[in-house]
Structure formats: C-alpha cells, structure tokens
Chains A and B, each alone.
Chain A
Amino acid sequence: MNAIKAQINHMEVEVQEGTTILDAAKKVGFTIPTLCHHADLKPQGSCGICVVEVEGFPAMKRACMTEMVNGWKIHTNSARVRAVRKTLLELILSNHEMDCPICIKNNACELQRLAATLGMTTLKYPQNFQKKKIDNTSVAIVRNPNKCILCGRCVQVCTEIQTVNALALSMRGFNTVITDAFDAGLGNSVCVNCGQCIVYCPVGALYEKSCVDKVWEVINDPGKHVVVQEAPAVRATLGEEFGMEPGSLVSGKMHATLRRMRFDAVFDTNFAADLTILEEGTEIVDRVKNGGKLPVITSCSPGWIKFMETFYPHLSEYVSTAKSPQQMFGALSKTYYSEIKGIPPEKIVSVSVMPCTAKKFECNRPEMNSSRYQDVDYVLTTREIARMMKEAGIDLKEMPDEPADDPMGEYSGAATIFGVTGGVMEAALRSAYFLITGKELEDLDILPVRGMEGVKEAEIDVNGLKLKVAVAHGLGNARKILDKVSTQLKNEGKSEYHIIEIMACPGGCVGGGGQPWGSNMARRARRGETLLKEDKSLPYRRSHENPSIKAIYEKYLEQPNSKKAHHLLHTHYYKRSKVDGKVILDT
C-alpha cells in the first residue's frame, strides 16, 4: 500500500492509499459534518453535506466517498464550503416536517444535530412539502415519509445487510419516496420487521408502532394483573437511554424500576430462555441421536422466522419447533403462573420488554395463543420502556439492584447470553453436552462461536461425537449459510452441520431494531461483551441447573418435550409470499 501525502486545511497529512478525505481529515483534527454517512454502510454520497474544496477542481467533492490523492490541497471549512453546506441543509429542511419537540427522534436526531453543528439559526426557504400518508399497515414498524430525507440508509440496510429488499426508492425528482412494493405498506410486504431500517434512519421517518399508551392503561386498571418480562439484551442497553456508558449492565436496576412503575409481577425473559434451551436442547439431542432431520436451526428470532417462511420455506422442517423465549413466557404466564397464583388468565396482561420490533409481529401471530388467550399482549421496545420510565419520573441510574420475582425470574448465565450472537449456540451446547453424555461440560466458554464475525463455524467434541455448528447474524450472513445448507441437502441429501444459530440482527439482539438509538457494530460488540460478563458472574451458568427450571418441570411441565410442553412451548411454521409476505399454505 502506498502512502498518500496531501494537505488538509494547510496541515500536512499522510495516509494509506484508499483513505477517504473524511477519514484523513479526522486524522488531523477536522471533523467534516455528514448526514447520510454511517460507519457500518458503504458511502453513498446522497446528501452532499460532506462536500469539500480541492484546489484545482471547480466542483466540490464529497469527502465520504472521495479517496485521497497525492498532492491534493483540500479545504474542509472554507467560506464557500460552509455556505454550500448550509444551502444543502436548508433545502433538505424545506422538505422536512419540522415538528421537532413532538418527534420520536427529538434529541436523538442526526438532522437536528447537524443543524446545530452548521450553526443554522434562520431559514431562507419556506417549508414546501406535500404531506404524504404515514404507513401504519405494519404491527411493528411505522414509516413517516414526511420526515424522510431520502438518504437511502434504510434501503441500503434492507437490501445489502439484511437482503430482505422490502424497501426501495420509488418515483423520481420531487416525487421520490422510499416505499415498498406497490406502495402497499410494510404490513403488506416482505418486511420481516427486524427494524434495522429504524436503527439506521438518521431522522424520525421510521420507528416502532408504540403500545406505551395501552400498557399505561392496563397498569392503571385495578382489574388487571400485569406481568412483565425483559429480554436478555435489554439489560445491556437500557442504561444508554439514561446517559450510562454503552455496555452498562442494568439487570437489577431494570427490575427495580419496573417494580416502581407498578407492574404487578416483574419476571424475566431469561427464565424462559433457560426453558428454551431445555426444550430446544432436548430436540437437538433427539435429532442428533436418533437420526432426525439435521441441521437443527434455532427459532428464537422472529425476524429470522418470517424471513425463513418467505425466502427459505423448504428449510422450515429443520427449524426447531421450540417457541422463542418471549412466547414460552407468555404461554406460561397465563397457565402455570395463573394456576399457582390462582389468578384467572383473563385478568392477566402479559407485557414484554424487547430489543426487537419483530417481537410485536410475533406476539400477534394467530397461532400464539396456547393459553387460549393471546399469550403475550403487548411488546415494548427498549426505547419504549425507557420513555415510560422517564414519564414515570424514575431515573434508572439511581435505582438499587433488585432481583426479579419468583417463580419466573431466576436465570442462568446461559440464558443471559441469548442476547448476543453465538449465545444461544453456546447455551445449547452447554446443556446438550450434559443431555448427551450425562456429564457436565467443564470449560463453559465456547470461544469459536463468539465475536462479531458474520458467519462463525466450529466443531465441538462431545465425548467423541463431533458436532459441526454454525452461527450467523444479520440476514445477509444467514443467507450465506442457508444457501450452502440448501445445496448440500439437495445434492447430498444431508448437510455437514448439526446445529445452526441464526439471529436476524447484526450482533444478535444487542443490535435489535428496538434498541436505543445509535447502534453501530462497535457498540453492538460492547453490549455483547456485557452479557458475556454477566454470564461469568452468575451462580449457575447452565440452563439445566436453574432451580426455577427444575421446579417448573417437576410441578407443571413434567419433562422437556412432554405433551404439555409441546402444547405450550412449541409451534409450527408457514410458507409466505415473496410479494406481500402473507401466509400461502401451512407447511
């Protein structure tokens, strides 16, 4: 690699060939403002905010996508550059609905921040936009085109990272919109509700469909018994909403806050994650030992499940029938818990706090009513519960650490790592080892399945039995492994893999579509490490050791994969249309 020598704002700079002006400027202490640029995505240069002057070139260049050239003299903050940036921003603002104080993105909006950075105090151009219809068709995601600045990040993440292709640019010129096929609405599209578009949207054009009001209503209803569960990944991110460092672990503070918000029982999804391992692990062991269908593919991620039903329905019989922890918990809250507490199930409202927008879709799936009621009534994202906590005037940071309630609050370390890519695999292997050999796995840290690499593979020796496993996170990465498996199954009748873990979101649930604003790959990794740390700190690190899990099987479910367990804790899948995502036929 050659070194490039150039000047930025009269400062000498030397960088590697291929470095963009944006990165080179940072090296000598100049931050070039950006809007459409995102560290995780390929630069598109759609907004033009990062323009700079290069001596000898009449036209300005976009710093995010222009590579440095030897001898260039670059100016990143000249009067002309600053004026052009302001004009560009004014034009964007003239076509943007500016109701900032009541916008979902208020205080977290990149456009708002940019206006401040550029020192905007007045607007030359009047507001000039035609109000477009808000897309409310999805149960999970709302799209407000009036806020959209057409940066294209959502399209990029939907096509390149997730390969779902629900969103595309449509029309042209002033009429350009980002929309789905036939403009039918996300609820009538192949959208898998992963919410990564929300994560990458710089403004308030994409957000979750909120059920904050409904949850307040049931909390305040004395006739309702409201139980709450929180997903593993929420405890590694919720602190960010209260100004804590990314990666702060707040399990205890979260339980304490929820209790003070007057939820009637504060449980933990981690309990159900342990249960998932027992159910899924038993299924894995059965299929490995008795010549069942292999590989077993995990089923916890509802974005992945809809993706599979739409694009890989031929693999549906390989996917574990175990429900996700959220849905297992929901079914048990209105059966097991209802029975031991003597509270009629119709009085119980089951609320979950999830890092995920697809969970909203999952809880509304018509088959998710094993308790004869909708098993999970309301799903709140991490962002939504943070808003409620703030509304209640409780500062999470200041809360003491409190445990979750019995009998569905105790959890093992294996459960808490469900929230990070590789975690379900690791948890499953810890218990599968025991179920296969009758002995405990000594070294519990299964390092090859950890980390942020898109596809991870490992061979695990279980007392002489070699288990080939693969882990993929982000649906584009999932495709890589699924295409390979599909080819192997087609050509050889079997696959080299025994177990495959798939999470729809990059990084796993710590990078979910419902997580605090500002996710990027680096932050996802930090959040993931937090969960791995909590795992190490817990008294039990294997799901089958969790005393509450032992108790529920003794008292209620008999044993993993029993008839009762099957009824409450397992599900089935459908085939979906690649046009509108609707169910085609029962597989």
Chain B
Amino acid sequence: MSAKNHCNCARVDEEDLYPKLEEMIAQHKGKPTELIMALHKAQNLFGYLPKKAQELISERLNVPISTVCGVISFYSFFSTVPKGRHTVKVCLGTACYVRGGQQTLKKVEKELNTKVGSTTEDRRYSVDIVRCIGACGLAPAVLVDKDVYGRVKSTKLMDILGKYE
C-alpha cells in the first residue's frame, strides 16, 4: 500500500472508531476523576486526540471542555496532532546532547521535512525529543518505536528510518 493511500484510509477509519470509543469509555461515564484514563484510551485508539474525541469525552464524563484541553496540554504523552505510524524520538539528555544529539535532531527534521511534535504528511513518522533513555553509553541515541539505535551519525540516519514503513 502506498503511503498516500494509507493516509486517506486513516481518515476514513477515524470516523469508524467512535463507536469503539463510546464502548471503551462507557465505564467512565459521569466520572470526572477518570478523565486521564479515558484520554489514555482514546489516544491509544486514534493515535492522538482528535477534537471530536475530546468533545465526546467532555460530554460523557461531565468534565468541562476547557478542563479536558488543559489536562491534555499539560501531559506531554497526550497529543492533539495525528501521530505517524512510527515515532522517532531523538534523545537530548546530557550525554546525547554533548555528543551531537542536537545535530541528529536537525538532520531528522530536515530529512523528514517536519518539526518536533509534528507528523510527516504521509503519517509515516512523528518526531519527538526525549530527555535520556538510559542509553548514555550509546550517545547520541535515537529511539524508533521501541528500538534503540546508538551512536547515530547523520549518515546512518536515513538507513535506520528507511526500515520503518
């Protein structure tokens, strides 16, 4: 499947996910204190938190929409922009930072033509930063999904990313 087709599919699929969301958050209905759990589920379902899902959760849990937005913006785990199929996280912890993490990040942004916190247009990659993943010996480190890559030189970068469709 080409990346472009996938993109369109994802959009159609999203609407179909709402009945599923209703089902998943049914147990939190009318319970404002369970907001984070509901958001967590929605984020896992959609890969991000679409506006409509936020509104639905606000309504079902009886939490004001302003509070829902405030909570989402507070936690870096939550995202209001669609996530790519793969997440590229460049480590900017102290060790990685001094060994060129910043340059690696710039290269990632340039090659994928996107910015930290955003997703490529084909929804293939999202780019993020992390503050130390405990792989300081491998600095500078990059995390793609759950795989850790060490001593990532900008030359190696595209080979690594290419592995992830």
Binding site for B on A (CB under 8 A): 159, 165-172, 179-183, 189-190, 578-579
Asked whether B69 is an interface residue with its Cβ less than 8 Å from the other chain, the reply is: yes
Number of interface residues of B (CB under 8 A): 13
Residue A170 contacts which of B55, B58, B73 (CB distance < 8 angstroms)? B73
* Structural contact, A165 and B69, CB atoms closer than 8 A: no
Q: 8 Å CB contacts to A: which residues of B52-73?
A: 55, 58-59, 64-70, 73
CB distance from A413 to the nearest CB of B (A): 41
B74: contacting residue among A159, A171, A179, A182, CB under 8 A = A171
B20 interface contact, C-beta 8 A:
no
**B65 x A190 contact (CB < 8 A):** yes
Name the CB-closest residue of A to B63.
Answer: A165
- One of A165, A172, A189, A578 near B67 (C-beta < 8 A): A165
Chain B interface, DSSP helix/strand/loop, else mixed: helix
**A and B contact pairs by CB, cutoff 8 A, 19 listed:** A165-B64, A165-B66, A168-B64, A168-B66, A168-B67, A169-B70, A170-B70, A170-B74, A172-B73, A172-B74, A181-B64, A181-B68, A182-B51, A182-B69, A183-B69, A190-B65, A190-B66, A578-B59, A579-B55
Inter-chain contact B70/A579, CB cutoff 8 Å? no
Known contacts A578-B59, A579-B55; decide if A166 and B66 are in contact (CB<8 Å): yes
B69 touches A170 (CB 8 A): yes
Among B91-146, those with CB < 8 Å from A are none
Contact at A171–B73, with CB atoms within 8 Å? yes
B66 partner residues in chain A, CB cutoff 8 A = 165-168, 179-181, 189-190
A544 to B67, CA, bound (A): 47
A72–chain B nearest beta-carbon distance, Å? 35
Most buried by A among B59, B68, B73: B73
Given contacts A159-B64, A170-B70, A172-B73, 10 further A-B contacts (CB under 8 A): A169-B70, A171-B74, A181-B66, A181-B68, A182-B65, A182-B69, A183-B69, A578-B58, A578-B65, A579-B58
From A159, A171, A579, B65 is in contact (CB under 8 Å) with A579
B121 to chain A, nearest CB (A): 23
Q: Lowest 7 CB-CB distances: which A-B pairs, in order?
A: A165-B64, A168-B70, A168-B66, A181-B65, A181-B66, A170-B73, A170-B70
Q: How far does the alpha carbon of A579 sit from the alpha carbon of B69 in the complex, in Å?
A: 11
- Cα A181 to Cα B67 with chains together (Å): 8
Bound-state Cα–Cα, A179 to B67, Å: 10
In the bound complex, what is the Cα–Cα distance between A578 and B60 (angstroms)?
12
Q: How distant is the Cα of A578 from the Cα of B64 in the complex, in angstroms?
A: 8
- Nearest residue, chain A, Cβ from B65: A181
Name which residue of chain A comes closest to B64, CB basis.
A165
Q: Report the bound CA distance from A172 to B59 in whole Å.
A: 25
Which residues of B are found within 8 Å of A180, using beta-carbon distances? Answer: 66
Query: Which chain A residues border B69 with CB–CB below 8 Å?
Result: 168, 170, 181-183
Q: Mark B66-89, 1 if CB is under 8 A from A, else 0.
A: 111110011000000000000000
Write the nearest CB–CB distance from A128 to chain B, whole angstroms.
22
Whole-angstrom distance between the Cβ of B68 and the nearest chain A Cβ: 7
Q: B59: which A residues are within 8 A, CB to CB?
A: 578
The minimal Cβ–Cβ distance linking A264 to chain B, given in whole angstroms, is 44
Question: In the complex, which residues of chain A have a beta carbon less than 8 angstroms from the beta carbon of B68?
Answer: 181
Interface hub of B58, B64, B69 (most chain A Cβ within 10 A): B64
In the complex, what residues of B have CB within 8 A of residue A165's CB? 64-67
Chain A residues closer than 8 Å to B58, beta-carbon distance: 578-579
Separation of A190 and B51 alpha carbons in the complex (Å): 16
For A181, the chain B residues whose CB sits under 8 A away are 64-66, 68-69
Task: Kindly list chain A residues whose C-beta atoms are within 8 Å of the C-beta of B51.
Answer: 182
Across the interface, which residues of B come within 8 angstroms of A172, CB to CB?
Answer: 73-74
Task: Give 1 or 0 for each of B28-41: 1 = CB within 8 Å of chain A CB.
Answer: 00000000000000
- A196 CA / B59 CA spacing, docked (Å): 25
- Contact residues in B for A166 (Cβ distance below 8 Å): 66
Per the bound structure, the CA–CA distance linking A179 and B74 in Å amounts to: 13
A579–B65 alpha-carbon span in the complex (Å): 6
A360 to B57, CA, bound (A): 32
A170 contacts which chain B residues (CB < 8 A)?
69-70, 73-74
Q: How far is the CB of B32 from chain A (nearest CB, A)?
A: 11
Return the chain B residue nearest A178 by Cβ: B70
Question: Chain A: which residue is nearest B66 at the CB level?
Answer: A168
Q: How far is the CB of A482 from chain B (nearest CB, A)?
A: 16
The residues of B that contact A183 with a CB separation of less than 8 Å are 69
Cα–Cα distance between A165 and B51 once the two chains are bound (Å): 18
Identity of the chain B residue whose Cβ is nearest the Cβ of A167 in the assembled complex = B66
> What is the bound-complex CA distance between A183 and B65, given in angstroms?
11
A14 and B91 alpha carbons, distance in the complex (Å): 57
Alpha-carbon separation in the docked complex, A166 to B64 (Å): 8
Tell me the bound Cα distance from A487 to B61 in angstroms: 20
Enumerate chain A residues within 8 angstroms of B64, measured Cβ to Cβ: 159, 165, 168, 181, 190
Q: How far is the CB of A265 from chain B (nearest CB, A)?
A: 43
Closest chain B residue to A165 by CB distance?
B64
